[in-house]
């Protein structure tokens, strides 16, 4: 730094300290401040870059989890791949004692219970959403809407034990027992709804699932229907349309992508749901023609048998079931996301 | 209500009546759907409240799960649930918040961000039992036994996508003017995020964490073969640990009446927790959006 001392070159006009000293001190301070500032800036830049890397790493962790799920399932299922190959997907035998495993039974159960659930929950859920957006008296809209959203968050195990303790016995006594003699001799119905009144079974599981996804479908559909601009609906009313016509020809077409996307999300939930199904499906790997008969689903099979699976191959077969479930839901969820994304873009987000 | 009043004398009376009939049918049907759906849900809630309150008592919190035929509570299960959920939130929140920040602040329109968002959405809705299998392969199999650590990690995998999604959405709500003002003062990107946008979105980010807690407090499937269950009070993180959902599953499937009562008590505790968390989260989110 500037430490040189010379005879005073700049004498102040009035008596006082030499101006050279003042200039030197101030210059020194300014230089020091500059150096400080450079150091601070450099430090800030380093911190900035580090923070950015951390955020990027966290985002990469999300990708890593996804890759890890696929990798772990593939690894775990390897013994089953080797033992059964493609025939795993075409065999319906499941005999742990003889180490024979086939996925058809659980896959059938998963697809049928989800289909039953969607067939019931979709129309009812859309009905609730329409009721909430168009017909419900205004003061009631918010409370009912909030109640439905809260119900959508209730853990599925609650629906499961309600199904086991309350719904299944009721269903056995008041639906199955009257229905069974009634369908006897009727061609198609006898096959679909024949057999014994167990209470639990594939149909009961589908019903419980439908009750579970109902609030979810209703909440999503209501959100989507609320994106329909009032101007569109008002214009249609102004032309003399009825409420039904406004809904069918204006609101639903406008919100179609969103409704379908929401329905696919709900389907993804139904396919992968474990606890609401496991309690009431009956856990039988046999495929029966009757929907009242006990069955199993992929998730129910895993939940019930995984900790009891004694052999390497048994565990691997269950993990391969998990892999199949993951792939099925991946396709459904991807489609749902792409649809909902298109909707968001259209809404200008 | 906007019933169009067309003159009945016109030639279109038939059409008019048909339209009115269709509309009436539509209203009746959607009303019926609403009543049908709400009745089921109300029935579930009343059963839960009835059976749950009957089983509720201080013993639930003070005594561990009993063998069949004797008295007991759920203290070990409550403890296990709290420990594993807390662990999952502590592990999952920083990762989730940072990843959500990356999506909203650093690479909002990037190709990679599109992929991360897509994958995150898939993990968010993926069957939780499959995520449990993942942790089984990753942790339980190498360790050789079930453990609370594995259970915590399984719940962490569920926490992360929830927090990522809400953090991103809430950061997107922060007006750009705030960021620009901070940048104009010479703040670096990291400063802007930590001092300005995170603070502005604080209520929203907390909402995400609460929603994640609500989600994991009822998760059963991923715990069944990671943390397993434990009939006794255990504080050993490397050993099996009880949790409320796992105990409910085991006790509800059992043939014993007093175990069923405990299952209902546990179910009520879980539902109460979830509802309380969701309500707080809703209030916070509303505060954030205003």
CA-nearest residue of chain B to A277? B221
ipTM: 0.92
Q: In this predicted structure, what is the pLDDT of residue B290? A: 77
Alpha-carbon span B84 to B86, nearest angstrom:
5
**Mean predicted confidence (pLDDT) in B117-145:** 94
Three-class SS of residue A15? coil
* CB contact (8 A) between residue B22 and residue A242: yes
State the DSSP H helix or E strand holding residue A101, giving kind and residue range, or none if neither: strand A100-101
Q: What span, in angstroms and rounded, lies between the C-alpha atoms of A100 and A83? A: 9
Number of Cβ atoms within 10 Å of the Cβ of A326: 22
Tokens, residue A104? 């058809």
Q: What's the confidence (pLDDT) of residue A189?
A: 85
Check pLDDT > 80 for residue B107.
yes
**Spatial contact of A165 and B251, defined as CB atoms under 8 Å apart:** no
Q: Show the DSSP H helices in B139-175 as ranges.
A: 141-143, 148-172
* pLDDT value for A182: 85
Q: Which residues of A142-165 are buried (b: 16+ CB within 10 A; e: fewer)?
A: eebbeebbbbbbbbbbbbbbbbbb
Determine whether the interchain pair B188/A144 forms a contact, defined as Cβ–Cβ distance below 8 Å: no
Residue range B174-202: average pLDDT? 93
In DSSP notation, A187-207 reads HHHHHHT-S---S-SHHHHHH
Q: Indicate the burial class of A75 (C-beta count within 10 angstroms; 0-12, 13-18, 19 or more).
A: middle
Question: How would residue A339 be classed by pLDDT, with cut points 50, 70 and 90?
Answer: confident
Here the contacts of A90-93 (C-beta below 8 Å, separation 24 or greater) are: A92/A285, A92/A286, A92/A287, A93/A285
Label residue B11 by pLDDT band (50, 70, 90): low
Which residues of chain B have a CB within 8 Å of the CB of A243? 2, 23, 26-27
String of DSSP letters for A294-326: -B--HHHHHHHHGGG--SHHHHHHHHHHHHHHH
Tens-digit pLDDT profile for residues A275-324:
999 999 998 888 888 889 999 999 999 999 998 888 999 999 999 999 99
Nearest CB among A155, A161, A162 relative to B274 is that of A155
pLDDT at A349 (0 to 100): 46
Question: Closest by alpha carbon to A107, among A310, A329, A263, A259?
Answer: A329
Q: How many CB atoms lie within 10 A of CB A253?
A: 12
pTM exceeds cut of 0.80: yes
Query: pLDDT-based confidence at B102, cuts 50/70/90?
Result: very high
* Residues of B whose CB is below 8 A from A134: 30
Q: Which pLDDT band, with edges at 50, 70 and 90, does A134 fall under?
A: confident
A94 strand-pairing partners: A101
- Which of the residues A38, A65, A251, A303 would you substitute to probe the B interface, choosing the one with the greatest number of B C-beta atoms within 10 Å? A65
pLDDT average, residue stretch B118-130:
95
> Cα torsion at A36, A37, A38, A42 (round to 10°)?
100
Question: Residues of A with CB below 8 A from B119's CB?
Answer: 62-63, 66
Average pLDDT over residues A204-226: 93
* Residue A233: pLDDT over 50: yes
Residue A346: pLDDT over 70:
no
Q: What is the pLDDT of residue A4?
A: 56
Whether A1 shows a pLDDT value over 60: the answer reads: no
Nearest to A262 by CA among A317, A211, A333: A333
Q: How confident is the model at residue A344 (pLDDT cuts 50, 70, 90)?
A: confident
Query: CB A325 to CB B129 under 8 A?
Result: yes
Mean pLDDT of B7-25: 78
Highest mean pLDDT: which range of A6-10, A23-27, B190-194: B190-194
Alpha-carbon distances, residue A79 vs A90, B132, B146 (angstroms): 17, 19, 22
Confidence of residue B171 (pLDDT cuts 50, 70, 90): very high
What is the distance between the alpha carbons of residues A334 and B122, in angstroms, rounded to a whole number? 7
The stretch B152-171 carries a mean pLDDT of 96
Q: Residue A68 has what pLDDT?
A: 96
- For residue range A150-175, list pLDDT tens digits in order: 888 899 999 999 999 999 999 999 99
Residue of chain B with shortest Cα separation from A163: B44
All residues of chain B having their beta carbon less than 8 Å from the beta carbon of residue A156 are: 218, 220
Q: Write out pLDDT tens, residues B204-253.
A: 999 999 999 999 999 999 999 899 898 888 888 999 999 999 999 999 99
Both structure tokens of A230 = 């009032």
pLDDT at A2 over 60: no
pLDDT of residue A26: 83
Cα separations in angstroms, B39 against A113, A156, A215, B23, B175: 22, 18, 12, 24, 43
Closest CA to B211 of B271, B162, B161, B154: B162
**Cross-chain Cβ contact A245/B19 below 8 Å:** yes
Residue A3 confidence (pLDDT):
54
Question: What pLDDT, on a 0 to 100 scale, did the predictor assign at position A348?
Answer: 54
**Calpha distance B102→B189 (Å, rounded):** 11
The closest of B252, B238, B248, B254 to B273, measured between CA atoms, is: B248
Q: Is the pLDDT of residue A56 over 50?
A: yes
Is the per-residue pLDDT at A345 higher than 90? no
| Segment B50-65, tens digit of pLDDT | 999 998 889 889 888 8
Per-chain mean pLDDT for chain A: 89
Residues A70 and A58: beta-carbon distance below 8 Å:
no
Two tokens, residue A217? 């479908």
Residue from A98, A114, A116 nearest A106 by CA = A114
* DSSP states of B50-95: HHHHHH-STHHHHSPPPPTTS----HHHHHHHHHHHHHHHHHHHHH
Task: Check residue A218 and give left, alpha or beta (phi > 0: left; psi -120 to 50: alpha).
Answer: alpha
- pLDDT the model gives residue A343: 72
Residue of A nearest to B245 (CA): A157
Alpha-carbon gap, residue A103 to B230, rounded angstroms: 31
Contact call for B271 and A154, based on CB within 8 A: yes
Q: Which of B141, B249, B84 is nearest to A304 (CA)?
A: B249
B53-92 residues touching A, CB cutoff 8 A:
none
Torsion over CA of A195, A200, A202 and A203, rounded to 10 degrees? 80
Distance from CA of B34 to the nearest CA of A (A): 4
**Contact check, Cβ <8 Å, A333/B126:** yes
Please name the residue that has the structure tokens 């159960």: A109
């Amino acid at each position: 730094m500037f430490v040189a001392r010379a005879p005073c070159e700049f004498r102040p006009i009035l008596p006082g300290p030499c101006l050279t000293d003042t200039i030197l001190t101030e210059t020194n301070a300014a230089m020091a401040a500059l150096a400080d500032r450079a150091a601070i800036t450099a430090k800030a830049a380093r911190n900035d870059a580090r923070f950015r890397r951390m955020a990027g790493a966290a985002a990469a962790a999300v990708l890593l989890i996804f890759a890890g799920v696929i990798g772990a399932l593939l690894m775990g299922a390897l013994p089953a791949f080797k033992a059964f190959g493609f025939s795993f997907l075409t065999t319906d035998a499941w005999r742990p004692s003889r180490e024979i495993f086939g996925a058809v039974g659980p896959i059938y159960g998963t697809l049928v219970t989800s289909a039953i659930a969607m067939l019931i929950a979709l129309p009812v859920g859309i009905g609730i959403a329409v009721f909430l957006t168009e017909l419900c008296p205004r003061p009631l809209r918010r409370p009912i809407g909030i109640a439905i959203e809260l119900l959508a968050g209730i853990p599925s195990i609650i629906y499961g034990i309600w199904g086991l303790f309350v719904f299944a016995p009721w269903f056995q006594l008041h639906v199955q027992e009257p229905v069974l003699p009634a369908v006897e001799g009727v061609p198609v119905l006898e096959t679909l709804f024949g057999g014994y009144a167990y209470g639990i079974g594939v149909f009961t599981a589908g019903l419980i699932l439908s009750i579970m996804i109902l609030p979810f479908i209703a909440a999503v559909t209501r959100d989507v229907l609320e994106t329909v601009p009032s101007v569109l609906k008002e214009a249609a009313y102004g032309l003399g349309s009825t409420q039904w016509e406004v809904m069918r020809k204006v609101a639903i077409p406008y919100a179609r992508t969103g409704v379908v996307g929401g329905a696919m999300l709900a389907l993804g939930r139904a396919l992968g749901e474990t606890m609401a199904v496991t309690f009431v499906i009956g856990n039988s790997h046999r495929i029966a023609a009757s929907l009242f008969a006990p069955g199993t689903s992929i998730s129910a099979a895993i939940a019930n048998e995984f900790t009891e699976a004694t052999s390497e191959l048994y565990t691997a077969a269950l993990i391969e079931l998990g892999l199949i479930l993951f792939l099925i839901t991946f396709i459904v969820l991807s489609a749902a996301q792409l649809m909902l994304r298109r909707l968001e873009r259209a809404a200008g987000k | 209500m906007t019933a169009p009043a067309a003159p009945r004398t016109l030639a279109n009376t038939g059409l008019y009546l048909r339209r009115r009939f269709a509309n009436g049918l539509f209203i009746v049907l959607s009303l019926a759907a609403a009543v049908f759906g709400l009745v089921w849900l109300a029935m579930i809630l009343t059963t839960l409240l009835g059976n749950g309150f009957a089983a509720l008592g201080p013993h639930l919190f003070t005594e561990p799960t009993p063998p069949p035929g004797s008295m007991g509570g759920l203290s070990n299960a409550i403890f296990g649930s709290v420990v594993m959920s807390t662990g999952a939130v502590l592990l999952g929140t920083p990762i989730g918040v940072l990843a959500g920040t990356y999506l909203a602040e650093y690479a909002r329109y990037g190709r990679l961000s599109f992929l991360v968002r897509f994958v995150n959405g898939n993990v968010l809705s993926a069957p939780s039992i499959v995520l449990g299998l993942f942790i089984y392969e990753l942790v339980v199999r190498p360790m050789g036994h079930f453990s609370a650590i594995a259970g915590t990690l399984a719940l962490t995998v569920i926490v992360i996508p929830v927090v990522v999604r809400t953090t991103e959405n809430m950061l997107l709500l922060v007006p750009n003017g705030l960021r620009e003002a901070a940048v104009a003062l010479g703040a670096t990107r990291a400063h802007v995020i930590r001092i300005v946008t995170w603070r502005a979105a604080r209520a929203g980010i907390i909402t995400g964490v609460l929603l994640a807690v609500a989600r994991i407090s009822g998760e059963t499937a991923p715990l069944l073969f990671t943390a397993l269950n434990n009939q006794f009070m255990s504080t050993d993180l490397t050993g099996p640990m009880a949790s409320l959902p796992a105990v409910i599953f085991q006790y509800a499937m059992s043939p014993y009446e007093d175990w069923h009562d405990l299952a209902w008590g546990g179910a009520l505790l879980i539902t109460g927790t979830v509802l309380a968390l969701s309500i707080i989260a809703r209030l916070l989110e509303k505060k954030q959006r205003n």
